[in-house]
A = this chain, B = another copy of it.
Amino acid sequence: MKLNRGRHLVSIPGPSVIPDRVLNAMHRAMPNIYEGALVELSQNVLAELPSIARTTGPGFVAIANGHGAWDMALSNTLSRGDKVLVLESGRFALGWGDQATMMGLDVEVLHATPRRAVDPAAVEDRLRTDHAHDIKAVLVVQVDTASAVWNDIAAIREAIDAAGHPALYMVDCIASLACMPYEMDAWGVDVTVGGSQKGLMVPPGLGFTWASDKALAAHRTADLRSSYWDWTKRLSGASHYWRYAGTPPISHLYALREALDMIAEEGMEKIWTRHRVFADAVRAAVTAWSTPGALEFNITEPSERSDSVTTILTGSIDAKRLRAICDGQAGLTLGIGLGDEFEGKAFRIGHMGHLNPPMVLGTLATTEAALIAMDAPLDGSGATAAAQVIAQHLDP
């Protein structure tokens, strides 16, 4: 029966729910683009952007999605034929590696244990064998949106240092920025990659990179540079126009301005804590539901689970049908299992960005209703378990 009126809830791992304030901010006529309020807003946005990645280095805003930002990161720092080491932990680092290959880079993949995070010790081992320092960059994601694994970026930095290796350290934080702790400078990251449509609460359309001094130094000799992505042009200050390699993304700048205000109002540490609480609630629900042969976590090691997305294997339960019931009858869109190994055998819950208890608990209780309707074997009530987690964080 179709019960799906009301505000449809999209609980996928990006695009996340865009705040009404952000949608409203976008609803504006085109302004004077040469001088005045738009230029000032843009400069303020660029000035505040480093704080999001916790760096003192520059941040760059490309009109692009995350895959564009990947190209931006690589093309600004590397040269044709350079070797890069991709740390596998799901799909996305591999995808980044595919783009690197297409650009003419020499890509090596360090494979991971299935359903686990990158092992820092394995990284150290590999880099120790690269005596010639052929590897110019190490690529990793903090959170893999497909597997929902969380990689320990600080620990991998320690592994690189332990190996005494000079490679650039590039981290894709698209699915974790403004969701989970990230300290670009403190953790010695050289290039951070981000996107607008997840923790940053802005519709897809902006890709971000941040560069360390080391990355900027590498940039000077990179021969893959191209005009649209080029950091130098964007930093030149010649005119506002070049900050975005042409006409600026006006609507998205208005959106980003509003989102940065919201982030500042809540405070980054509180945002991280809130995501932790909601992730704990989701995990309590999945734990309550888990039954041999039916639902279980994709990531086996609890400490390696992301606070922004959870991938749930469905065993004997038809994940496609589950999603179809939620979407078509109950007003809830769950994330698909992404990739061949997950198709029809998993679903994902995004818990990133603009969220509160009714949204998280509404997602879980509705999923539970659909599971009950499907007569799925459930060990217990996830909705209740999740409500109990939330309760622990409410001041009576």
Residues of A within 8 A of B (CB): 1-10, 12, 14-20, 23-24, 26-34, 36, 63-68, 70-71, 75, 98-99, 102-103, 195, 197, 203-205, 225-228, 230, 244-252, 262, 266, 270, 273-274, 277-278, 321, 325, 327, 329-333, 335-336, 354-366, 368-375, 381, 383-384, 386-388, 390-396
B394 and A369 form a contact (CB under 8 A)? yes
Task: Tell which of B98, B361, B373, B386 touches A394, judged by Cβ atoms closer than 8 Å.
Answer: B373
A390 and B103 form a contact (CB under 8 A)? no
19 A-B pairs with C-beta separation under 8 A: A5-B266, A5-B354, A7-B354, A10-B32, A12-B34, A15-B250, A20-B28, A23-B28, A26-B251, A30-B203, A67-B246, A195-B247, A325-B395, A329-B394, A331-B359, A357-B366, A358-B358, A358-B359, A369-B390
Closest chain B residue to A254, Cβ basis: B203
Contacts of A103 in B (CB 8 A): 226-227
Interface centre among A14, A228, A330, by most chain B C-beta atoms within 10 angstroms, is A228
Task: Tell which of B5, B195, B327 touches A355, judged by Cβ atoms closer than 8 Å.
Answer: B5
Contacts of A364 in B (CB 8 A): 365
**Closest CB in chain B relative to A27 CB, distance in Å:** 5
A23 and B27 form a contact (CB under 8 A)? yes
A65 and B357 form a contact (CB under 8 A)? no
CA of A247 to CA of B29 in the docked complex: distance in angstroms? Answer: 25
Instruction: Give 4 A-B pairs besides A369-B391, A370-B391, A374-B396 with Cβ atoms closer than 8 angstroms.
Output: A17-B29, A34-B333, A203-B249, A357-B365
CA of A319 to CA of B250 in the docked complex: distance in angstroms? Answer: 25
A388 with B369, Cβ < 8 A, contacts A266-B5, A354-B5 known? yes
CA of A227 to CA of B67 in the docked complex: distance in angstroms? Answer: 8
A390 with B3, Cβ < 8 A, contacts A68-B228, A102-B227, A359-B362 known? yes
B9 and A358 form a contact (CB under 8 A)? yes
A99 and B205 form a contact (CB under 8 A)? no
A362 and B372 form a contact (CB under 8 A)? no
**Closest CB in chain B relative to A72 CB, distance in Å:** 9
CA of A273 to CA of B67 in the docked complex: distance in angstroms? Answer: 40
Contacts of A36 in B (CB 8 A): 327
**Closest CB in chain B relative to A26 CB, distance in Å:** 6
CA of A325 to CA of B10 in the docked complex: distance in angstroms? Answer: 25
Contacts of A273 in B (CB 8 A): 1
Contacts of A29 in B (CB 8 A): 7-8, 10, 17-18, 20, 23
B5 and A357 form a contact (CB under 8 A)? no
